[in-house]
Structure 1
Amino acid sequence: MIKKVTYLLLFFLTVQTSLAQDSLSQLLKRYNTKNIPYISVQELAMPKTNYKILDARELNEYQVSHLNNAIFVGYKDFKIETVLNEIPNKKDTIVVYCSLGIRSEAISKKLKDEGYISVYNLYGGIFEWKNNDFPVYNQQNKKTDSIHAFSKMWGKWLMKGKKAYN
Structure 2
Amino acid sequence: MTKKVQRIKAKEATQIIAHQTPTILDARTEEEFALSHIEGALRFEESLLDSLPKNHPVLVYCTIGVRSNRVARQLRNAGFSLVYDMKDGILGWANSELPVVNSAGLPSDSIHTYNKSFSLLLRKGKAVY
- Taking the aligned partners of 1:50 and 1:42, their CA distance within structure 2 comes to 15
Amino acid at match of 2:59: V
Give the 3-state SS of the residue equivalent to 1:67 in structure 2. coil
1:164 maps to what in 2?
Answer: 128
Q: Which has the higher contact order (CA 8 A, sep 6+)?
A: 2
2:74 to 95, 102, 110: 110
Answer yes or no: is the 8 Å Cα contact 2:119–2:128 preserved in 1.
no
Count of residue correspondences? 125
Q: CA RMSD in A?
A: 1.5
The alpha-carbon deviation at position 84 of structure 1 amounts to: 2.2
Question: 1:83–1:141: structure 2 CA closer, same or farther, 3 Å change rule?
Answer: farther
Larger strand proportion of the pair: 2
1:135 maps to what in 2?
Answer: 99
TM-score when normalising by structure 1: 0.71
1:121-152 Cα offsets, whole Å, 9 max, x none, are 00200000000000000010111000011101
Give the 3-state SS of the residue equivalent to 1:61 in structure 2. helix
- Taking the aligned partners of 1:141 and 1:55, their CA distance within structure 2 comes to 15
- Taking the aligned partners of 1:141 and 1:91, their CA distance within structure 2 comes to 28
2:40 to 69, 91, 95: 69
The alpha-carbon deviation at position 117 of structure 1 amounts to: 1.2
1:59 maps to what in 2?
Answer: 30
Answer yes or no: is the 8 Å Cα contact 2:69–2:87 preserved in 1.
no
1:20 maps to what in 2?
Answer: none
1:80-128 Cα offsets, whole Å, 9 max, x none, are x22322x1x2111101000011110001111111110101100200000
Larger helix proportion of the pair: 1
- Taking the aligned partners of 1:99 and 1:116, their CA distance within structure 2 comes to 22
Larger Rg: 1
1:120 to 75, 84, 88: 84
Amino acid at match of 2:62: C
- Taking the aligned partners of 1:49 and 1:82, their CA distance within structure 2 comes to 20
2:59 maps to what in 1?
Answer: 95
Amino acid at match of 1:106: R
1:40 maps to what in 2?
Answer: 9
The alpha-carbon deviation at position 36 of structure 1 amounts to: 2.2
Mark the runs of 5 or more structure 1 residues left unpaired by the alignment.
Answer: 1-34
- Taking the aligned partners of 1:38 and 1:105, their CA distance within structure 2 comes to 8
2:49 maps to what in 1?
Answer: 83
